[in-house]
Amino acid sequence: MFRRQVASLSRLQHLQMSTNAAPAPTSTSASSGEAISEFRTAVTNPGEHSSLHVAKFYTIPVEQKKKIFGGGGLPKQYEQQIKTFQEACLMVRSPALELLHYIQNADLSKPAVRYVVYGANGVGKTLTMAHVLHYGSLNDFMLVHVPWVPNWMKRPKEAANSSTQEGFIDLPFDAAAWLVHFKTQNLKLLQQLDLKTSKEYVWSKRESTPAGSTLLELVEHGIARIKYASETTAALISEIKQLSNAGKCKTMVVIDGFNAFFHPETRIFSENKQRVTPDRITLTQPFLDITSYDWTNGICILSVDKIAMTEGYMASHMPRYLLGKEGFEHLDPFIPVHVENYTEKEFYNYISYYLDRRWINKTPPGFEEQLKFMSNKNPYELMQLVKSL
Amino acid sequence: MSWSKNISINTWRCGRLMSMYPQHYVDPIYKMEDQCSKRTELLRLSHIPIKGALNNSSDTIFNGEIKQKMVNYITKNGEGFLSRKLMAQTLEMIKRTQLEGSYISPGYNKTETDAESLLIQAVENCRPLLQLSSIKRGGVKYHVPIPLTNKKSYFLAMKWLLDASREKDRKVSLPEKLAWEILDAAHGHGRVIKKKEELSRQCESNRAYAHYRWS
């Protein structure tokens, strides 16, 4: 009772923070007929999440998790946690809700809106994007999802000289892996929708993909012929852009670590033993194309991350610094979405989740205060601290 | 020149350059629990000089006596940060193996998931009571069973656990192996327990020499 009063008071005080002050949804959990803990919610559809569910956990069903995040998308340590806890739980947090709110109310006939997720290290940018990705997958968005761009720039599987563009470098294996990821995420949509290529793509003397073949055929060709995977990616992305423009599908572009495309240099060496800049890599151009504003029926959610950069370029986590002049101008105008450390309520809910999973075994009085002090309510720090308890 | 005289007297009195507390200083009580339970004693202590607390003795959930000792034994070349990390990884691994599959099993609440209490359990299980020491009597060396002090037996238990986990493939990490050894020992089987039993068997068979300790 007292809590409810306090909640309503604080709601009056700062309207923006109303998400934090929502009373516990006792009515919803009672109606679903299950005994659900206070920190969980039974609503598994991200589209239905509202400020009522802030700081609560929802579970991603196993098949959906496998489909969406099978090829990456969740941080490695979070995957480990999911495996140990045997459930894929995500916390509903206000940045993700903010994004979902924007997306639900966006007018898709207008040029694509770019959202830039930013924040300090370990605050949950990737998981925020995972939440949105789940929404996109459930709401028939064609997903163009790059789990972590720096993987291409920092440790590619293989780098080869491009056969079509002089002086450019192909990443055939990474491109093929991305195509597989794209296929698993969008298999249902690719089969359902009538998506045809607009022109003929000639790969070599004998191989070509005729105009009017389905996108699925294009993707499968890229996977089968790894040599042409990079070019197939470029072709696929331009096709998706055209199809979205024509209104045949709606597209959600989710790219984590987007600023790696604008890093001054990569760790890939060219023929003359010099480091290549990201714009000399064939994979860069298509993803820059699809994040520009000259198309419709699309949403771009990009994250800028400090650890996507290398040493010497990690002074700040702000978009302007990380993207550089060129990148900032490429994205301008965009909507910034700031992800922050846990709020008080989120922090205590996370602790009770850990207690529920029996992950914290030491509970002398005041242990939450100690954890709060040590972790500064930073999600990643908290995860690290709690591991050995 | 009184100040220089003072210094010279002090250095002469100390005998050694390392700082050392006088004998009448008492150990600090740094744990909140102990401070509460020893309230009556605190009154007595109020006029007795107390040593400063060590910088690794803190009253937090991250601190544990056995854990701290184990960390110290793991440490090589003064790399305490690394050994703390290894210990944390060990405890994490123990927790993960204990939790694996325990959510669906009917005995959900019964599996022990507190890694540190498992560690303590393991060390307690591995503690030997007696040790063989060779004593020369009449030109012959005898292996004589002698009782161990508490401290020594804890040391041996932890040393054996560590030795067992350092005997491994290069590809296996120390935390991984240590976690397995601790889990084994906590459940009362495994190599370290065997070693302890072997020692106690030898002591048993050499009991006839026990009197050589004092005669």
The 3-class SS string of chain B reads: CHHHHHHHHHHHHHCCCCCCCCCCCECCCCCHHHHHHCHHHHHHHCCCCECCCCCCCCCCCCCCHHHHHHHHHHCCCCCHHHHHHHHHHHHHHHHHHHHCCCCCCCCCCCCCCCHHHHHHHHHHHHCCCEEEEEEEECCEEEEEEEECCHHHHHHHHHHHHHHHHHCCCCCCCHHHHHHHHHHHHHCCCCHHHHHHHHHHHHHHHCHHHHHHHCC
Cross-chain residue pair A84–B114, CB shorter than 8 Å: no
Say if B14 falls within a structural domain. Answer: no
CA–CA separation, A365 vs B33, rounded Å? Answer: 11
Give me the domain span that covers residue B189: 64-213
Does the pLDDT of residue B89 top 70, yes or no? yes
Is the domain of B59 the same as that of B103? no
Predicted complex: ipTM over 0.95: no
Give chain A positions within 8 Å (CB) of B59. Answer: none
Is the domain of B79 the same as that of B153? yes
Is the domain of B96 the same as that of B159? yes
Where chain A has pLDDT below 70, the residues are 1-36
CATH number, domain with residue B189? 1.10.455.10
Question: Which residue does chain A place closest to B108, by CA atoms?
Answer: A358
pLDDT at B179: 92
Is the domain of B68 the same as that of B57? no
* DSSP 3-state of A117: strand
- A interface with B, Cβ–Cβ < 8 A, is 84-86, 357-359, 361-362, 364, 367, 370-371, 385, 387-389
pLDDT at A336: 92
Cross-chain residue pair B103–A86, CB shorter than 8 Å: yes
Long-range contacts: B175-181, Cβ < 8 Å, 24+? B175/B86, B175/B87, B175/B89, B175/B90, B175/B92, B175/B93, B176/B93, B178/B86, B178/B90, B179/B90, B179/B91, B179/B93, B179/B94, B179/B97, B181/B122
Question: Which residue does chain A place closest to B104, by CA atoms?
Answer: A86
Is the domain of B74 the same as that of B87? yes
pLDDT at A32: 40
Give chain B positions within 8 Å (CB) of A358. Answer: 99, 102, 113
Give chain A positions within 8 Å (CB) of B62. Answer: 385, 388-389
Does the pLDDT of residue B153 top 90, yes or no? yes
Please check whether residue B96 touches A, CB under 8 A: yes
Cross-chain residue pair B99–A84, CB shorter than 8 Å: yes
Say if B200 falls within a structural domain. Answer: yes
Percent of chain B with pLDDT over 90: 33
pLDDT at A6: 42
> In the listed set B45, B63, B81, which residue is the last one of a domain according to the structure?
B63
Number of compact structural domains in chain B: 2
Reading the block at residue A254, the tokens are 């989710």
Does the pLDDT of residue B23 top 90, yes or no? no
Q: Is the pTM of this model over 0.90?
A: no
Is the domain of B85 the same as that of B118? yes
Query: Where does the pLDDT of residue B86 fall: very low under 50, low under 70, confident under 90, or very high at 90 and above?
Result: very high
pLDDT tens-digit map of B154-163: 999 999 999 9
Question: Which residue does chain A place closest to B67, by CA atoms?
Answer: A388
Is the domain of B154 the same as that of B185? yes
pLDDT at B13: 54
Query: Where does the pLDDT of residue B14 fall: very low under 50, low under 70, confident under 90, or very high at 90 and above?
Result: low
pLDDT at A36: 66
pLDDT tens-digit map of A319-377: 889 888 888 998 888 999 999 999 999 999 999 999 888 889 888 888 889 899 999 99
pLDDT at A198: 83
Is the domain of B160 the same as that of B122? yes
Q: CB within 8 A of A121, min separation 6: which ones?
A: A306, A307, A317, A380
Size of interface A-B (CB pairs under 8 A): 45
Say if B13 falls within a structural domain. Answer: no
Is the domain of B168 the same as that of B202? yes
Is the domain of B50 the same as that of B104? no
Picking from A85, A361, A385, the nearest residue to B114 by CB comes out as A361
pLDDT at B108: 62
Is the domain of B136 the same as that of B151? yes
> In the listed set B63, B94, B115, which residue is the last one of a domain according to the structure?
B63
Is the domain of B115 the same as that of B169? yes
Higher pLDDT, B106 or A302: A302
> In the listed set B63, B92, B119, which residue is the last one of a domain according to the structure?
B63
Reading the block at residue B77, the tokens are 């070349």
CB-based contact A42:A32 (threshold 8 Å):
yes
Say if B87 falls within a structural domain. Answer: yes
Cross-chain residue pair A385–B114, CB shorter than 8 Å: no
Cross-chain residue pair B88–A388, CB shorter than 8 Å: yes
pLDDT at A23: 40
